[in-house]
Amino acid sequence: MTNLIIASFAQEAQALTAFRKLTELESIGDLTVYESILVQKTAQGETGIVETGDSTEGVRTLSGMALGTLVGAFAGPVGILGGMLLGTMGGALWEANYYNFTEEFSSKVADSLKPGYTALIAEVDEDNEVFADTYIKSLGGTLLRTDVDFEYEKIVDEQVESIDEQIAADRAKLRTAEAAERSRFEKEIAELKEKRKQRIAELKSSVKKAGAHTEATLREMKATRLKSRIELYKRRIAMLEAELGKLG
């Protein structure tokens, strides 16, 4: 299940520990982190990025153009939420029309970044929510989670769904793999994540080129998206029922 996690912390050190813990959980196959970002609001109300999932340089605080550029590099919902919190949506406001964030959810996201707090935003694929929840809550974080499938809408794309399923399968193998095999599965997952990111970026680009859509078109897109998800869950249920039948 692909979820959005927004965890806010009173201390920057706690947020950094949680950020790095997600990487550890990914390395042992408990979950997959597609994109992640840490944003901070100072006591004076100024916002900036503390560290991102792509950073190898430790803590980084950015502002202005660099901040907007970095947030815009995120193809999925993490970038949209980061832009909402940091106020860097700018000319990319058109993209928000393709995300079905409810007013209640948007309000909760805004409230999650109080002055002096640091928020971790991550898009993760997880079989069990307990892994991330346990560590985030033990560090004093306030957690907000939502199912990506129903909190944002995109053009239906079977390629992305197929890649997600391949990653989940490799993650399951990673959990039980011998040391000699682990690097192979880690490499496969990394390649699939990059392929997924590129595909979402392609969709983002094609939607932008298509220009503005009417409200009726957006409703039609959402309906198509939901029908696609229903069919996907039906297939998954059928697979689980078949597996259960073998046990009987």
Query: pLDDT tens, 138-183?
Result: 999 989 888 775 454 454 567 788 888 899 999 999 988 988 889 9
Q: Which of 151, 180, 204 is the last residue of a domain?
A: 151
Q: Provide the pLDDT for residue 137.
A: 92
- The answer on 138 and 56 residing in a single domain is yes
- Of 116 and 216, the structure prediction assigns the larger pLDDT to 116
Query: Total domain count for the chain?
Result: 2
Residue 171 domain flag: no
In the chain, beta strands by DSSP E = 2-9, 31-41, 47-52, 118-126, 142-147
Residue 201 lies in a domain: no
Q: What percent of the chain has pLDDT over 70?
A: 69
In terms of Cα–Cα distance, which of 224, 209, 80, 102 is closest to 157? 224
Give CA–CA dist 91/229, Å, rounded.
30
One domain for residues 21 and 95:
yes
116 domain-assigned: yes
pTM: 0.67
Whether residues 101 and 219 fall in one domain: no
Model confidence at 55, pLDDT cuts 50, 70, 90, reads very low
The tokens for 77 are: 């919902």
Q: Tell me, yes or no, whether 123 and 226 share the same domain.
A: no
Strand 47-52 versus strand 2-9 pairing type: unpaired
Among 11-15, 20-24, 37-41, which stretch is predicted with the lowest mean pLDDT? 37-41
Q: Is the domain of 146 the same as that of 220?
A: no
**Domain interval for residue 121:** 2-151
Provide the token pair at 237.
Answer: 């249920």
In a domain, 163, yes or no: no
CA end-to-end distance (rounded Å), the chain: 27
pLDDT tens per residue, range 69-90: 556 566 667 777 777 776 655 4
Residues 29 and 126 in one domain: yes
Same domain, 116 and 232: no
The pLDDT of residue 209 is: 60
- Does the residue 144 lie in any domain? yes
> 3-state class of 125 per DSSP?
strand
229 located within any domain: yes
Residue where a domain stops, chosen among 98, 128, 151: 151
Model confidence at 192: pLDDT above 90: yes
Q: What is the pLDDT of residue 145?
A: 86
Q: Which of 105, 74, 110 is nearest to 92 (CA)?
A: 74
- 195 found inside a domain: no
Among residues 151, 178, 202, the one where a domain terminates is: 151
Q: Is residue 127 part of a domain?
A: yes
